[in-house]
Amino acid sequence: MADTETYTIEGPEGDSDTVELPAGLVDTLAEQGEEPSKVISDIVLQALAQHAHALAHHSQGETPPELVKMNETAEELFEERFGVTLAEATGHQH
């Protein structure tokens, strides 16, 4: 196996988990001078916003109001961070 790098994610309650990634992968995804932790957090926000969207808009049955609110917040945070809406970034309109 190739060399790896370990990143730690910490939750608001103090819990944490680690993820091991191939060495150099995060640097490959970074823009010049961008910190690896920023790359990881960008990817986490993108993935979770996409999952929230899928749960809120593509689930079977009625979507609980709290899930709709979480999705709206995730999409707002996405737009604040990246300067485009999630729909614009993914080419996916509701």
Domain spans of the chain? Answer: 4-90
Hey, is 56 helix, strand or coil? helix
DSSP 7: E
pLDDT tens digits for 22-72? 999 999 999 999 999 999 999 999 999 999 999 998 878 788 999 999 999
Residues 6+ apart with CB under 8 A from 52: 67, 70, 71, 74, 75
pLDDT of 76: 97
pLDDT of 93: 62
pLDDT tens digits for 2-26? 999 999 999 999 999 999 999 999 9
pLDDT of 94: 52
pLDDT tens digits for 81-92? 999 999 999 887
pTM of the entire structure?
0.86
Residue 12 φ/ψ, nearest 5 degrees: -65, -20
Residues 6+ apart with CB under 8 A from 73: none
